[in-house]
Structure 1
Amino acid sequence: MTAQVSDARLTDLLAKGTGEILQGIRGVGLLRGRNLGDAGDDLAQNWIARVLAQHRPDDGFLSEEAADNPARLGKDRVWIIDPLDGTKEFATGRQDWAVHIALVIDGEPAHAAVALPDLGVVFSSSDAQHVTGPLARKVIVSRNRPPNVADHIATQLGFTTEGFGSAGAKAMNVLLGDFDAYVHAGGQYEWDQAAPVGVALASGLHASRLTGEKLVYNQKDTFIPDLLICRPELADEILGLASDYLDEHGSF
């Protein structure tokens, strides 16, 4: 372990550097569509893996773009990353893609960063604060797979819903106060959630399963069925509405 780079700084630099790499390969315009997305995934993954191999060689590692090594399950410290969350959005010129970097210690995100490179910002758990004030009265959902439970919750609250791409982009829009809640059902993986949840929790937002169950990472099964990130004052009401929906429909 290289002592000169703290965990918090390494997390932030990984998010920032990955974002710059991805913007660079998109900016020159030599690749398009799926080729651009694949190149972004590969190059970002390779750079992150090399940095961690040099600076944190003893830590575990879990990434969407790498084969899972079960040895991580025996480690207290595990980096959970998505080098490019929202590959389709990145490849088609949209802004709602992100870089997710999280260091999970004993199942919880201890340090996390979410970069939104096209907006020129990195949200970090070391200094995250969510916006307070009047409610936006909006729920952010998946652009491609908006869940019915989100419509139910929004309707009962008198809110509207709007779709975005990356999970990180959706979560950070709640932190910014543009939306009051991010509701997801239909499944994600740990790399989709660990960094956004880490930043959200550090900022004072609520984050849990839609059942209210605590989110725990570095599990053998990396699939997580659902997610709620919201303003803390809305958490109990939203979880109650989700419970009502589950009782009526049997699933989210």
Structure 2
Amino acid sequence: MPAIDLPLLIDAARAAGDISLSFHGRSPTVWEKDGDQGPVTEADLAVNRMLSERLRAARPEYGWLSEETPDDKDRLAAQRVFVIDPIDGTRAFIRGDKDWAHAIAVVEDGVPIAGVVYLPARSLMFAAALGHGATCNGRPIRVSGQSNVARAQVLTTKPNLAPHHWSGGVPPFTRGFRSSLAYRMALAAEGKFDAMLTLRPSWEWDIAAGAVIVSEAGGDVTDRRGRPLRFNTPKRQLDGVIAGGAVVPALLAALA
């Protein structure tokens, strides 16, 4: 049952927050990853180490996919897999901002069945398990009912507004931004924004936890072509993501 894993994920996320906050605002050591994949800090690695030890000890039969762990293809044969981003929004973390998150999910046969997005610097715990709804700090949350794209508030980055992405011009929604993709998904699940979208290839660990939270909040989650998302794939990437409430079909229809 999906809900069995959720308390484990919540407890692990809180423990991750204790570690990350001990580094936050204190100039942690930073490295640049190979292949232009961005920065990583000593905090990312400390959180990843703790999560690996804690979660894998609790569920040794589960596979493991994390941004900060070399990929082990044995995960592809596992029915259930932890999909982890130890710190999503590392650049914001390095700056000392608050908009970064721990994103922890369990995926079963390619579908996220439990997930948490925890922002320790904001004391926000978004959580969901398949068939059990979505919450923020224990309070039920629901996606927006706004279907008019001209009135919508959408979390996205400026490159996604390039005209070539859109069939009839960029829709006249109001753009917002947060550093963490997982946090953008959580805000769409909460209905504080009507949707989020990213049209570039997206890593599974940024999306898995948010996907089940949006879905359980009554929303739609697809790739940029309107197809269902599948996780624990060999490539580890998705063809963009659109997630949110009633405006998602209009956004999909507007894309080139």
TM-score bucket (shorter structure): 0.7 to 0.9
**Equivalent residue for 1:137, pick from 126, 138, 152:** 152
Equivalent position amino acid for 2:115 in 1: A
Q: Which residue of 2 aligns with 1:239?
A: 252
Decide whether the 8 Å contact of 1:149 with 1:185 is kept in 2. Answer: no
Per-residue deviation, 1:107: 0.7
Q: Hey, what's the Cα distance between the residues in 2 that align with 1:168 and 1:188? A: 11
Decide whether the 8 Å contact of 1:104 with 1:111 is kept in 2. Answer: yes
Cα distance, 1:42–1:159 mapped onto 2, change above 3 Å: same
Equivalent position amino acid for 1:138 in 2: Q
**Equivalent residue for 2:172, pick from 158, 161, 166:** 158
Q: How many residues align?
A: 235
Q: Which residue of 2 aligns with 1:250?
A: none
Per-residue deviation, 1:131: 4.6
Matched, 1:60 2:73: no
Q: Which residue of 2 aligns with 1:249?
A: none
Runs (4 or more) in structure 1 with deviation over 6 Å come to none
Q: Hey, what's the Cα distance between the residues in 2 that align with 1:88 and 1:177? A: 25
Decide whether the 8 Å contact of 2:220 with 2:244 is kept in 1. Answer: yes
SS at match of 1:100: strand
Q: Hey, what's the Cα distance between the residues in 2 that align with 1:183 and 1:234? A: 11
Equivalent position amino acid for 1:141 in 2: T
| Deviation per residue, 1:187-241 (Å, 9 max, x gap) | 111111111111111111110011111101111111212100021x222221111
Cα distance, 1:236–1:132 mapped onto 2, change above 3 Å: closer
Structure 2 residue ranges without an equivalent (≥5): 32-38, 135-140
Equivalent position amino acid for 2:54 in 1: V
The TM-score normalised by the length of structure 1 is: 0.84
Decide whether the 8 Å contact of 1:153 with 1:238 is kept in 2. Answer: no
Matched, 1:198 2:212: yes
Q: Which residue of 1 aligns with 2:225?
A: 211
Per-residue deviation, 1:24: 1.8
State the superposition RMSD in angstroms: 2.5
Decide whether the 8 Å contact of 2:143 with 2:194 is kept in 1. Answer: no
Cα distance, 1:154–1:49 mapped onto 2, change above 3 Å: farther
SS at match of 2:60: coil
Q: Which residue of 1 aligns with 2:198?
A: 184
Decide whether the 8 Å contact of 1:146 with 1:163 is kept in 2. Answer: no
Matched, 1:169 2:183: yes
Per-residue deviation, 1:124: 0.4
Cα distance, 1:146–1:32 mapped onto 2, change above 3 Å: farther
Decide whether the 8 Å contact of 2:23 with 2:43 is kept in 1. Answer: yes
Query: How many percent of aligned residue pairs carry the same amino acid?
Result: 26
Structure 1 residue ranges without an equivalent (≥5): 246-252
| Deviation per residue, 1:109-162 (Å, 9 max, x gap) | 01111111111011001441225466762111137x545269859976431112
**Equivalent residue for 1:110, pick from 110, 113, 122:** 113
Match runs of 1:1-20 below 5 Å: 6-20=4-18
Q: Hey, what's the Cα distance between the residues in 1 that align with 2:196 and 2:168? A: 11
SS at match of 1:183: strand
**Equivalent residue for 2:43, pick from 40, 50, 70:** 40
Equivalent position amino acid for 2:156 in 1: V
Q: Hey, what's the Cα distance between the residues in 1 that align with 2:90 and 2:167? A: 28
